[in-house]
Chains A and B, each alone.
Chain A
């Protein structure tokens, strides 16, 4: 589940500077990056997929380095246990223990939902460099769950962004995004992300619970819960190799 996290981590940011005065978009991005980004991280998480026939929880552990490399191992349920995913820049491989095969996810498969969630493999491939890729503008101030937030509109300044438009609600005091909306080039809303259970971890504020919602799909969305997270820990280089998928 590294990717939702990743998505979240790198993806949903914008916030501002000091209370009382409106910060610039750039300042907000910098503050969020400072708060949430890290060189490496190890995340143990649970993904709760709400389907028509009920909900199911998928636990996983992810090792991630920067925005380009991540390795995820699914821990439960039994059916998914042992499934591994490796993302290296714009390539994604998946290992399935039941078939003992490693396949590269490609073509139409990239558009499929990841284990029935509101995230597609394509979403997992995103590598947004927000500060460099977007121009941010504070468009207002709103309250979310009792927290004062800056509303930040982001417009892509480079052409190869999956989501050319984003809107982020950033906690004014903790510099953590509490809500994000992702739009298509046409302005159509595609995805919503709600972030909650903000905790201070290793001196930084971090959302431990996120809800992803593909607004084009029916359903209640997918919850992503961080059970534990460690920042800037050393991860062996071998972790991000295809050989690790079969181990």
Chain B
């Protein structure tokens, strides 16, 4: 208790020097918590969006389907096994058919992935219910990125060309019946959504699908040897890896920021011990053991971290709360990189994150405070009282 009182008095007595250290350290506190919360928020939003828009509660892939190998795509389709029909009828599964094609907006040629989806499905957020008859034309739904990139709007007609299951070219006019907005580029950029039956007829793949999407929080007991179950762990591995990489990369910033703050504390400790030799000698002459003096100086240094935590709480809590409520707006265009990124990221701060960061900073501050104080253990009290440099 005495050490705490003395430490606080000494710190308060140091004035501006103390507060500069505290302020810098508090910045580290707030930044680390904010950035980790930001990444966690991004991670959660991206996972949620991908589940809602693209992957559902998991998927069954046709055995030949490999989204990373375009050579497989033309063969990645097969009859929907009867064993899944009951699940489809109950709305627990929805089939999707993929086919590569070309479309010609304003007379320019572009590749496109044609995705057939059941208009009555409700497993994914794709607004398939908006499909409606468009006469001879193919009703198509696209995302805002696709619309923007190719200057397409609702009601526009565009020629689409594709190959049927036997390789024959076919082409027809398509009409854009709706444009949806999604944070998931995988369902938007270069994608055209078409009623499943229509795409099956167009490609001569009646009754076939490339993958089956499972409703969220649904366990499908049925299985088929040619259809591979892909769970969230597999389907979200990419975003997990990206977040992990981002997190690792951001650690460099944490280390730099903390190093600056801790270096300041270290310097302060060294200076204190140098300037307060007489005090140290007197303390020891009055009966304090070397350990008690070392403890006093260590507590003094560590108290920087406590004060920083208090200061960080003072301005950090309102700031972090504000960010969590209002979100952090992402620059335009970042979602064009192919990652699921919302327009605003809402940081998520867990108790573990706050406690972990606090403990990290406290331990680090204690270590850098203790190291210079060990010099005290080697001091001779008589020499210290004389103020002799040791």
Known interface pairs A107-B73, A108-B70, A216-B159; A161-B167 also in contact (CB < 8 Å) = yes
- Alpha-carbon distance A159/B108, docked complex (angstroms): 29
* Residues in chain B near residue A109, CB distance under 8 A: 70, 111
Known interface pairs A106-B71, A107-B70, A111-B102; A216-B109 also in contact (CB < 8 Å) = yes
Known interface pairs A106-B70, A216-B104; A160-B111 also in contact (CB < 8 Å) = no
Is there an interface contact between A190 and B161, defined as CB atoms closer than 8 Å?
yes
Kindly state whether residue A188 has any CB partner on chain B within 8 Å: yes
Is there an interface contact between B168 and A161, defined as CB atoms closer than 8 Å?
yes
Kindly state whether residue B172 has any CB partner on chain A within 8 Å: yes
Kindly state whether residue B377 has any CB partner on chain A within 8 Å: no
Known interface pairs A106-B70, A107-B70, A162-B163; A218-B106 also in contact (CB < 8 Å) = yes
- Alpha-carbon distance A163/B166, docked complex (angstroms): 11
* A125 nearest CB across to chain B (Å): 10
Known interface pairs A159-B168, A162-B168, A163-B168; A219-B107 also in contact (CB < 8 Å) = yes
Kindly state whether residue A156 has any CB partner on chain B within 8 Å: yes
* Residues in chain A near residue B109, CB distance under 8 A: 111-113, 120, 214, 216-217
Q: How many residues of B contact A (CB 8 A)?
A: 25
- Alpha-carbon distance A156/B168, docked complex (angstroms): 10
- For window 61-105 of A, CB contacts with B under 8 Å fall at 104
A108 to chain B: closest residue by CB: B111
Q: How many residues of A contact B (CB 8 A)?
A: 27
Kindly state whether residue A4 has any CB partner on chain B within 8 Å: no
B157-174 contact mask (Cβ, 8 Å, vs A): 1 or 0: 001010110111111100
Is there an interface contact between A185 and B107, defined as CB atoms closer than 8 Å?
no
A-B contact pairs, 12 of them (CB 8 A): A107-B73, A107-B100, A160-B168, A163-B168, A184-B171, A184-B172, A188-B171, A216-B104, A216-B107, A216-B159, A216-B161, A217-B109
Binding site for A on B (CB under 8 A): 70-71, 73, 100-102, 104, 106-109, 111, 113, 159, 161, 163-164, 166-172, 190
Interface pairs A-B: 7 shortest CB-CB: A107-B70, A218-B107, A108-B111, A159-B166, A184-B171, A185-B170, A184-B170
